[in-house]
Every structure is written in C-alpha cells, then in structure tokens.
Amino acid sequence: MYHKPPTTEAQLMTRAVAMSGLTVRQLAEIVSENIPPDLKQHKGWLGQLVERYLGASAHSKAAPDFEALSIELKTIPVDESGTSRESTYVCTVPLLELANVSWEASWVYRKLSHVLWVPIITPPLTALPDRLIGMPLLWRPAAEEAASLRADWQELTDMIALGQLEQVTAYHGNILQIRPKAADGRALCWGINEEGERFLTLPRGFYLRSRFTTALMQKYFQLQK
C-alpha cells in the first residue's frame, strides 16, 4: 500500500499519527516491503519505508520530501526515554562559491525550516522488526533554536570561505557539525584552500548533534500515544 503525496498538513499528520504505535514489522507489511536482517547494509531502509507510507514525493531529488507542503521528513532513532541515539544528517556542505550566501538562502536553513520528525523507538539491542514508530512532531525552529543554528552555520561557513576546510572537524559547532559524508574514504570532491586554489577533498555534510535532537524530543514530544 502506497499513499499518494499528501496535499495538506492535516492529511500528512493524520497519516503520521496513524502510523505511530506500529512496529517496523507491521509497517513493512503494510507497505509490502521485505525487512532486511539489520541496517548494517541498508542504512537508509527505514527512512525510505516511512517515506513510502507517508507518500513522500521527492525520492532522491534535491527537494523537500513533501514537495507541495515544503516539509522535510526525518526519522530519528531514540531510546525509550526519547534520547537520540544518532546524529541527524541535514545536507551536504557546499564547498565552492559559498561566500556571500545568506543564512536564509542556505541549504541548512531551507532544510530545517519545516521538518516532520518521526521517532523510531529503538532501545539498545532491539531487533529491527520490533522497533516502534513513535508519535510524529511537525517542527519549525523556535527563535532561540534558529539563532543557535544560524550561529553555528555562520562559524562553519566562514571557516570554509576562508579556505580553512581542512581545519574544520566534527568538534566545531554547538548543535550543528560538519563530518564526512561519502561512499568511503576515497570519495573526493573539489574544495578551496587558503590560496583560493581548488584541491581534492572528502565530501562533507552538515549534521545535527544528538544532544540537540534529544532536547527537541524532550521539549516537544510525546513519544507514544
């Protein structure tokens, strides 16, 4: 069973709430997907399962998951107390021509301006089929959250614009960090060094630290019905 793309927020939320409380096994059955033994070689499988159920429209396109609604979907593994178990990938880091890009025009801003968070309740050692879909949260950054994101984005973007990409590590940024995002350690793309010359480097991505997503859960969430 596949849903068509939702046309209203209310429709999307009705579906998302209906999905909560199901096990991954039940959701896979509804969507007619086979469950892999674990996520080791299928890291994006669960996110895509939820996409299909909810009717996300932008499969592997550079667009919000729900295009008509401009809403991004993120599944997030949490334990039974709502503590996030992983960081959350946001988008790739543009390494070229990022000078003079405003916060409002940045990919990070646009990706995070409206997000449907779907927690996957995953206590330690829970087998994939037994994980529970939690209550969804439709989120827009509060002023304080947006300011914090903006400050991190600005700091990291400034470093890259100055050609200091090789000095940026995952330790930079309070809630937003930059880490490799690549097929493996041999994947390369172009960056700009301090002399303004192009050089080959590992592709990078922006990620939300798990302490931030954990704070979101605990501020706004009712994990289960």
Partner DNA sequence: CATTGATCATAA
Partner DNA sequence: TTATGATCAATG
Taking CB under 7 A as the criterion, the residue among 10, 34, 61, 104 binding DNA is 61
Could you list the beta-strand ranges (E) of 24-114.
72-78, 88-92
> Minimum distance from CB of 160 to DNA (Å)?
14
Taking CB under 7 A as the criterion, the residue among 69, 71, 75, 108 binding DNA is 75
Q: Are 206 and 90 in contact (CB under 8 A)?
A: yes
φ/ψ (deg, to 5) at 205: -130, 155
Distance between CA 99 and CA 157 in Å, rounded?
8
> Minimum distance from CB of 203 to DNA (Å)?
6
Residue among 143 and 171 whose Cβ is closer to DNA: 171
- Residue 31: what residue type? V
Taking CB under 7 A as the criterion, the residue among 12, 28, 52, 72 binding DNA is 72
> Minimum distance from CB of 194 to DNA (Å)?
19
Can you give the length of the chain in residues? 225
Q: Which of residues 181-220 bind DNA (CB under 7 A)?
A: 181-190, 202-203, 205, 207, 209-211
Residue among 29 and 191 whose Cβ is closer to DNA: 191
> Minimum distance from CB of 173 to DNA (Å)?
8
| Residue 70 engages DNA in binding (rule: CB under 7 A) | no
> Minimum distance from CB of 10 to DNA (Å)?
21
Residue among 129 and 180 whose Cβ is closer to DNA: 180
Distance between CA 17 and CA 135 in Å, rounded?
6
Q: Are 50 and 19 in contact (CB under 8 A)?
A: yes
Taking CB under 7 A as the criterion, the residue among 120, 121, 133, 135 binding DNA is 120
Distance between CA 69 and CA 223 in Å, rounded?
24
Radius of gyration of the chain measured on its C-alpha atoms: 18
CA distances from 184 to 66, 68, 202, 223 (A): 29, 34, 9, 34
Which stretches of the chain bind DNA, using CB under 7 A?
38-44, 46-48, 50-51, 58-62, 65, 72-77, 86-89, 91-92, 120, 169-171, 177, 179-190, 202-203, 205, 207, 209-211
